[in-house]
Structure 1
Amino acid sequence: MAAEHSGLSPAAAEELAARYGSPLYVYELARVRAAYADLTDALPSPCRLYYSLKANPHPDLVAELRRCGARAEVTSRGELASALEAGCRAGELLYSGPGKTPGELAEAMHRGVRSYSAESFGDLEGIGAAASTLGVTAGCVLRINAAGAPGSAGLRMTGSASQFGFDLDTLLAAPDRLKVPGTRTVGLHFFPLTNARDEESLRAELVQSIRTAAQLRSSLGIELQLVDLGGGFAAPYAVPGERPRYTGLRKGVSEALDEWLPGWREGAPVVAFESGRHLVGDSGQLLCTVTDVKDSRGTLYAVLDTGINHLGGLSGLGRLLPMAARPVRPAEGTEADAVRATLAGPLCTPADVLGRGVEMPGLAAGELIAFPNVGAYGLTASLLGFLGHPAPAEVVMDGGEVVTATRLALRREAAGAPATTPLPSRS
C-alpha cells in the first residue's frame, strides 16, 4: 500500500508529514475493516476470530477490530494493557505465549483474564498457582506441537523441537499431569505455521490440526469446548502487493470439521482462528524523507530519516529484506530516470539497511517516500531504543479524517522491589 495505492492521496500524505513530522506511520481503519470482512468470509461459519496483538498493539486498531467482532489474543503485560485500553473485556481475552512469569500471570488473573493457552506442564502449573492464589479457575487450552502436514509453506512454528507447545508423545505419556489445581482443560490450541500464501498448504495444515484435535480428545479423555486452529494468514510486508484471498478455504475446512468434530456448527466445540498481520498489515504505511543521496564506490545510497529503529529491526539479521519504498509524489517524467539504490537509515551501524537495489524514480534529497504494508510488525517490532532517536508519530485515519495522533516514548523510571513470589515447581 504505497501512497498511490491507499486511500491517502499524495497531498494528504504531504500535509500529514508537515503537521506531525517525518518519519510518520499512518494507519487507515477502512483497510482494517476490509481485511476483517475478507477473512471472516473465507473461514468456516460460525467461528471465533482472535486478533494477535503482537502484530500491532495500537489501541485504535485493537478497538476497531473489537467493534468488527474480533477478540484479542495477548502475550504480555503491555499487550494486556493495550487490549483493555481498547475496550476489550478481560473475560474474553486469550493469554498465550511461552515463558509466562508469576508476576504477569498474577496481574492477568487480578484483571479478570480466565482463558490461557498452556505451552507445557510447567506453564500449566504456573497458571494453576496464580489462579489458586485468587481462588479462581483458569480455563486452559493446550498448545500442541504436532507434526505438520506434508508440503506446507510458510514459516513453521511447530513440528520439531520448539519452545512452543506440548510435544504429542510427552503429553500422551503423562495425561494425569493435566490435573492441576486452579486449572481446567477446556480445549486445544494449534499454530503450526505463519504467513502462508499457498492456500492448499494452509488448508492441509488446518485439516491436520482438526484430525489431531479429535484424536487427542479421545486419547486424553478431555472435553473440547474450544479448538483454536491458529492462523497462518499472509500479508505482504514493506513491499507493494495485496493481501492473498483464501477463496477456497471455507469449504475444505468446514468439511473436515463436519467429519472430525461434529457439533461445531452448534458451538460444541467453538472453533477459533487467529490473525495478526493479515488483519492490519495493509492498513499502514511509513512516510519518511530522503536526507542525502550519495555514491560510494559504485553503489548509490539514499540515506533516510528512518531505519531499523522504526521498521523491521530484524533486517539487521537479513530476515526481512528486501523492503521497497516509492515516492509519495514522483516527479513527472522521472520513471525513465529510475535508479537502483540502497535505502539506509540514520543509525551508526552498517546493519541499518531497509532495502538493497530498490528502484527509485526521481531520487533526490528532501523527497517524501513511503514504505507500504507496514501495519503489522512495524514500529513495535523494531529496535526502538537503539541510538535514542524519537519514535515516529502514529496517525490513525478513518474516511480521510485523523482519529488520533500519538507518539510512543521510552523513559527511564525507578524500578520496584524485586518480586518475592516463588517460582512454581517445574518438575
Structure 2
Amino acid sequence: MTGHTELAKRFGTPSYVYDLDRVAAAKRDLFAALPDEVDVFYAVKANPHPEIVREMGVAQERGGARRRGCRAEISSVGELTAVLDAGLDAAEVLYTGPGKTDEEIAEALARGVRLFSVESLGDLRHIGAVGVRLGVVADCLLRVNSVSASASTSIRMTGVPSQFGFDSETLPALRDELTGVAGTTVAGLHFFPLSNSADEPSLIAEFQHTIALAAQLQDELGVAFRFVDIGGGFAAPYAVIGERPVYGALRAALAESLDTHFPGWRDGGPRIACESGRYLVADSGTLLVGVVNLKESRGRRFVILDGGINSFGGMSGLGRILPVSVRPYETGAPHEQLASLVGPLCTPGDILGRDIELPALAPGDTVAIPNAGSYGVTASLLMFLGRPAPAEIVVRGPEVVSASRIQHTRDYELGRGL
C-alpha cells in the first residue's frame, strides 16, 4: 500500500485512508463465521463512501463456492441513493429507523425498496398507507425490544424504554392489528439487542437468546415468518490500536440454535440474516492528522491538530470514544509524553483524548488514528466553523482508487419564487 506519509503530503491532512483489501478481509472473516445460508446486511451508516458500499456488494469465493456480497441496511433516502449509485439492488435493501416520513417511505417504495423494519404500530400504518396509495405491498419486519437479554456486558440496545422496536411482551396482544394493515405484510422480525460484544461467548449467548425469542414470538403470533434478522454485535477496535476478532465458534453455535428453533431455516423457512457495520469497515480506515502546535498550560500538555471532532466523530464529542490511540506514521518513535490531543475548533469540547500516551511530536508531524474506518466523516461535526471536510482516499494495494472531499454548499432553490 502507498505509504501514509506520502499520501498525507500528496492530499494534505486531515485525511482518511480506506484500504479496500482490509474491507474484503473483514467480509471474508464475517462470512466464514456464519453459516453459508445466513445473509449479511451492511449498515451503511458506518461508512457510506461509494467505494466502500460497492465493495460490500461484491460476491466472494469461499471453499470453492461463490457467496454473494452483503445486502444494504439503510435509514434514509440519502443512504438509499448511495447504495443505488454503488450498484446494489433496491430489492435487497432493508430500510430501518424510527422516524420514517411519508415522503421518505414513498421515495423508497418508488425506487424499489420492499423490505422495512418497523418500530411501532404507527410506523407500520404509515408504511401501509403509502403502499396503498402507490399500489404496492411492503414486507415488514417487526423490530423487537426484548424484555430480557443474555449478555450483561457490551452496549445494550434492548430491555429499556426506547424509541426502537415493539416491547416484546406487547406483541401477542397486537396480533390482529399488526396483520390487518393494508399495504403491508408481516414478513418476520428484526432484532438488534447489542453492539460491540465484549467477547465471543457473550455474542453467541445473545444470538441464542434472540433465536429462541423469535421462535416463541412466531408461535404466539401464529404467523409463519419468512425472514428473521437476528442483528449483530460483532466487535472491532474503534480508534485504538488493536486487532479485529475472528470468531471461530460462532458458525456451529448459530447452526445448532437455528436447527433447534427453526428446523426449515436451511431451506429459507425462514430466511436468516445478521447485520454489521463497524466490524466490516473499522480496521480498513486510518485518519491522518497534522500537528499544528504544541502548548503547555498549568502543568498540562496539549497537542493541537488540524482535525478534531469536525473530522472524527460527533460521537467523540459526546464522550463516546475517548480516548483514541495515536502513533506517528513510519517513524516507530516510542511513547514519550502524556498530553491531550485536541483539534482546531473554538470549543473546549474539541478533544480526541485527555492525557494519553503520545510519541515525541513537533509541528508539521503527521500522526495516525488507527481503526477509524467506521463512524468517521459522516458522524462528525462537518459544518461547524465552516472548515473543509477531511479528504477521503481509497486504496487497493499500492493503487490509489480515488480521492475526494465532501463539499458544503447551500441550495437556494427551496426559496425560489418567494
TM-score range, shorter chain: over 0.9
CA contact (8 A) 1:152 1:204 kept: no
Partner of 2:56: 65
Gaps of 5+ in 1: 1-6, 418-427
Q: Paired residues, what number?
A: 405
| Deviation of 1:31 (Å) | 0.4
The match for 2:121 is 121
Deviation string, structure 1 residues 140-166 (Cα, Å, up to 9, x no partner): 111111134334321111111111111
- Give the 3-state SS of the residue equivalent to 1:338 in structure 2: strand
Q: By how many angstroms is 1:373 displaced?
A: 0.4
Is it true that 1:134 corresponds to 2:134 in the alignment?
A: yes
Deviations 1:341-384 (A, max 9, x none): 11010000000000122222221111011100010011111111
Q: Which residue of 1 aligns with 2:62?
A: none
Structure 1 residue 169 displacement after superposition: 2.5
1:421 corresponding residue in structure 2: none
2:235 matched to 1:237? no
- Which of 4, 27, 39 pairs up with 1:13? 4
Call closer, same or farther: CA 1:279–1:28 in 2, change over 3 Å: same
Q: Which runs of 5+ in 2 are unaligned?
A: 60-68
Q: Answer yes or no: is the 8 Å Cα contact 1:152–1:205 preserved in 2.
A: no
| 2:200 equivalent to 1:209 | no
Q: Whole-Å Cα distance in 1 between the matches of residues 152 and 205 of structure 2?
A: 8
Determine the structure 2 residue equivalent to 1:412.
410
Could you tell me which residue of structure 1 aligns to residue 147 of structure 2? 147
Instruction: Summarize deviations over 1:54-111 as a string: whole Å, max 9, x none.
Output: 1011111010010131010000111111101110111110101111011111110111
Per the alignment, residue 180 of structure 1 pairs with 181
In structure 2, the CA distance between the partners of 1:212 and 1:241, relative to structure 1 (3 Å rule), is same
Match of 1:425 in 2: none
- Aligned partner of 2:29 in structure 1 is 38
Bigger mean CA offset, 321-330 vs 268-277: 321-330
1:25 is aligned to 2:16: yes
Q: Deviations over 1:360-419 (max 9, x none)?
A: 2221111011100010011111111111100011011011101111111121112648xx
| 1:9-56 alpha-carbon deviations (Å, 9 max, x no partner) | xxx212211221111100000000000010111112311000000101
**2: distance between equivalents of 1:369 and 1:327?**
4
With normalisation by structure 2, the TM-score equals: 0.94
Matches within 5 A, 1:293-304: 293-304=294-305
Paired amino acid for 2:25: A
Q: Distance in 1 between matches of 2:414 and 2:128?
A: 25
The equivalent residue for 2:87 is 87
Deviation at 1:131, TM superposition (A): 1.1
d(CA) in 1 for partners of 2:408, 2:115: 31
What is the root-mean-square deviation in Å for CA atoms of aligned residues?
A: 1.3
Instruction: Give the conservation status (yes or no) of the 8 Å contact 1:338–1:363.
Output: no
Q: Name 1:111's counterpart in structure 2.
A: 111
C-alpha distance in structure 1 between counterparts of 2:35 and 2:27, whole Å: 14
Are the counterparts in 2 of residues 152 and 202 from structure 1 also a CA contact under 8 Å?
A: no
Partner of 2:226: 225
**Aligned mate of 1:379, from 377, 386, 392:** 377
Q: Percent identity?
A: 54
- Say whether the 8 Å CA contact 1:391–1:407 is kept in structure 2: yes
Contact 1:158 1:192 in 2 (8 A): yes
Q: In the alignment, what sits opposite 2:361?
A: 363
* 1:167 paired to 2:167: yes
State the shift of 1:200 in Å. Answer: 1.1
Tell me the alpha carbon deviations over residues 307-334 of structure 1, each in whole angstroms, 9 at most, x when there is no partner.
0011022223322101121101327xx4
C-alpha separation in 2, matches of 1:25 and 1:50: 24
Q: Distance in 1 between matches of 2:151 and 2:14?
A: 41
Contact 2:313 2:375 in 1 (8 A): yes
Does the CA-based 8 Å contact 2:54-2:87 persist in structure 1?
A: yes
Q: Distance in 2 between matches of 1:258 and 1:351?
A: 50
Are the aligned partners of 1:42 and 1:249 in contact in 2 as well (CA < 8 Å)? yes
